[in-house]
Amino acid sequence: MVLNQIEELASRAFDELGKVTNSRELEAWRVHYLGRKSNLTQILRSLATLPLGERCGVGARANEVKEAFEASLAEKKKSLEQGLPLSLQRESLDVTLPGQQVLLGRLHPTTQILDEICDIFSGMGFQVVEGPEAEWEYYNFEALNMPVDHPARDMFATLWIDFETEAGDRPMLLRTHTSPVQIRVMEKSHPPIRVIAPGRVYRYEATDATHEWMFYQVEGLAVDKNITLADLKGTLFEFARRLFGGGRKVRFRCDYFPFVEPGVEVAIDCLVCGGAGCRLCGNSGWIEILGAGMVHPEVLRRVDIDPEVYSGFAFGMGVERIPMLRYGIDDIRLFYSNDLRFLRQF
- pLDDT tens-place string over residues 31-57: 888 888 787 777 777 777 777 777 777
Q: What is the DSSP string of 294-340?
A: EEPHHHHHHTT--TTT-EEEEEEEETTHHHHHHHT---GGGGGS--H
Distance CA 233, CA 262 (A): 13
The CA distances from residue 314 to 85, 220, 259, in Å, are: 73, 5, 9
Q: Residue 52 has what DSSP assignment? A: H
Is there a contact between 185 and 195 (Cβ–Cβ < 8 Å)? yes
List, in sequence order, the alpha helices (H) in the chain: 2-18, 23-34, 39-45, 52-90, 109-122, 137-140, 179-188, 229-244, 297-302, 321-327, 340-343
Distance CA 294, CA 166 (A): 38
Is there a contact between 311 and 295 (Cβ–Cβ < 8 Å)? yes
3-state secondary structure of 63: helix
Q: What is the pLDDT at residue 115? A: 94
Distance CA 286, CA 325 (A): 11
Distance CA 330, CA 342 (A): 12
Distance CA 324, CA 205 (A): 20
Which residue stretches of the chain have pLDDT < 50? Answer: none
Neighbours of 221 (CB within 10 A): 24
| pTM given for the model | 0.66
207 phi and psi angles, rounded to 5 deg = -90, 145
Q: How remote is the C-alpha of 97 from its chain's centroid?
A: 36
Q: What is the pLDDT at residue 121? A: 95
| 314 closest CA partner among 181, 189, 190 | 181
pLDDT digits (tens, 9 = 90+) for 1-10: 777 777 787 7
